[in-house]
Amino acid sequence: MDVFDIIGPIMIGPSSSHTAGAVKLGNVARILLGSEPAKATITLYGSFAKTGKGHGTDKALLAGICGYTMDDAGIKTVFEDCPFEYEFKYEENSDYHPNTALIELSDAEMSVKMRGASVGAGRIEVQEVDGMEVSFSGDFNTLIIFHSDRRGIIARITTWLSENGINIAFMRVFRLSKDDKAVMVIETDQKVAGYKILESFQDGLRVEYYENTHARNA
Amino acid sequence: MRTHMHETLRVMREAIAAGLSDKDARSHSGMSGGNACRMKSFIDSGSIEDNVYNRATVYALATSETNANMGKIVAAPTAGASGILPAVLIAFSELNRVDDERVVDALYLTGDIGMKIAKTASLSGAECGCQAECGSAAAMAAAGLAFLMGGTYEQSENAAALALKSLLGLVCDPVAGLVEVPCIKRNATGTSVAITSANMSMAGIESVIPFDEVLVAMKQVGRTMPEQLRETAQGGCAVTATGMRIARSLGLKQRRGDESGTFVRE
């Protein structure tokens, strides 16, 4: 925590959890797709569903998917300016965290499904990606690596990071089942450049990278 | 870092200006807007004095209305309580020609006070009620103002203790769950608590309970506060006859057989 967590962030109102955090959830979903979406389907749960319209949560999520930052005045008019097709759904009763959104994005080739919660003061937790339970906050620079569960792939990737001067702050691996689809989430202390080379390490492996632009010490 | 604090101060001023730029602007819900301009006109007409109390009232209303209307603000410490701190510091610095470097120093000091509150107690309405949001903001503003008035760090902390004690137990009960009623006017009245606390501290009046212990009290009060009064829109102003009527008119209805005031979309 630093002084700008208290006197800040600079953001579009009215709510750090229902507006600023929602933008960040949209930002991460956009990164996970890795390209400009052709279509977005956004489901708001719990408190997001109940008070989301009044808090502009719907606009904030969509603006995040469009790549806006939480202090972008364009958030207010994103419904008119959004370049792709979008749809909202509302589920008031759920067992999820009260401020949860499910974001499904697709382009011509692929799709991604992300569920995350805005946990207060503009902070988020991504909880599910393509049916796999994950957990990361976007407080760090984050590599999200979609791969197949095979022996040795984790070692190859972490070796590459080490050789390129990257220290891993946190790392977790999730898989659907043995030898099946898996996702590796690596949060790093440094910015990561040239990470696309990791895609040559395994057939069908895909790497996306979320850079925490709000980290003032990075 | 210091450049970023100057930028922060600039956004605070812009948020005030935005709130005063259009007297007809209304929030999405239609519940709020226009009151900053109304208060300013009252001062401009000469009906009340243009002093730090009244100018801070206008500025707090302006920032909070900008926030409700999806404008750009600085969360200080939260978006819902973003009106108080800039209102007090900017109103005082305008009336007393304080230069920006000193206001930036004051902002750093208030950040320090806020971090102490976050560490021992909380800055979240969902966790500890509005005492954690408007209460914390008023405490930070009181500390910053004492500093601008030439006070020592001890006088600033004492001012923060006086302000926070006055707002202990304040509940978070937003109508329809939106950051508008009673939040915006609580920001306005929160400025007077901050200013009076700073003035008392500078006069040499000491808080019997020291700042650190007030924080422990705040946490304890927050812990014992029922969930209905912690940002769930299930208690206080939110479940008054008028509060419920407004919520219904916004397309929220009371869950069948649920007397707690939980709303669902129709």
pLDDT in tens, B159-213: 999 999 999 999 999 999 999 999 999 999 999 999 999 999 999 999 999 999 9
Per DSSP, the three-state class of A53 is: helix
Q: What is the pLDDT of residues B232-241, one digit of tens each?
A: 889 999 999 9
Which residues in chain B (193-252) have CB-CB distances under 8 A to chain A?
233, 250-252
Closest CA to B261 of B132, B180, B174: B174
Q: C-alpha dihedral over B181, B187, B192, B196, to 10 degrees?
A: 130
Question: Cβ separation of A92 and B112 shorter than 8 Å?
Answer: no
Q: C-alpha dihedral over A13, A19, A23, A29, to 10 degrees?
A: -170
* Residue of B22, B63, B72 to mutate, interface with A, max A Cβ within 10 Å: B72
**CB proximity B179 to A under 8 Å:** yes
Instruction: Select the residue of A10, A50, A76 nearest B74 (Cβ to Cβ).
Output: A10
Which whole number is the average pLDDT over A78-82? 97
Instruction: Select the residue of B7, B28, B177 nearest A50 (Cβ to Cβ).
Output: B177
Tell me the C-alpha to C-alpha distance, in Å, between residue B189 and each of A119, B118, B134, B137, B160: 29, 23, 10, 12, 16
Instruction: Select the residue of B11, B124, B264 nearest A10 (Cβ to Cβ).
Output: B11
* Residue of B5, B70, B74 to mutate, interface with A, max A Cβ within 10 Å: B70
Q: What is the pLDDT of residues B48-57, one digit of tens each?
A: 999 999 999 9
Q: Provide, as residue numbers in chain B, all residues whose Cβ is less than 8 Å from the Cβ of A71.
A: 72
Residues paired with residue A132 on neighbouring β-strands, in sequence order: A129
Question: Cβ separation of B79 and A19 shorter than 8 Å?
Answer: yes
- For residue A214, the model assigns a pLDDT of 59
Residues paired with residue B252 on neighbouring β-strands, in sequence order: B265
Contact present, B160 and B211 (Cβ < 8 Å): yes
Q: Output the CA angle B127-B213-B159, nearest 5 degrees.
A: 95
Instruction: Tell me how far apart the alpha carbons of residues A124 and A118 are, in angstroms, rounded to a whole number.
Output: 4
**CB proximity B180 to A under 8 Å:** yes
Question: Cβ separation of B75 and A51 shorter than 8 Å?
Answer: no
Q: What is the pLDDT of residues A169-185, one digit of tens each?
A: 999 999 999 999 999 99
Instruction: Tell me how far apart the alpha carbons of residues B134 and B33 are, in angstroms, rounded to a whole number.
Output: 19
Closest CA to A176 of A201, A149, A199: A149
- For residue A120, the model assigns a pLDDT of 81
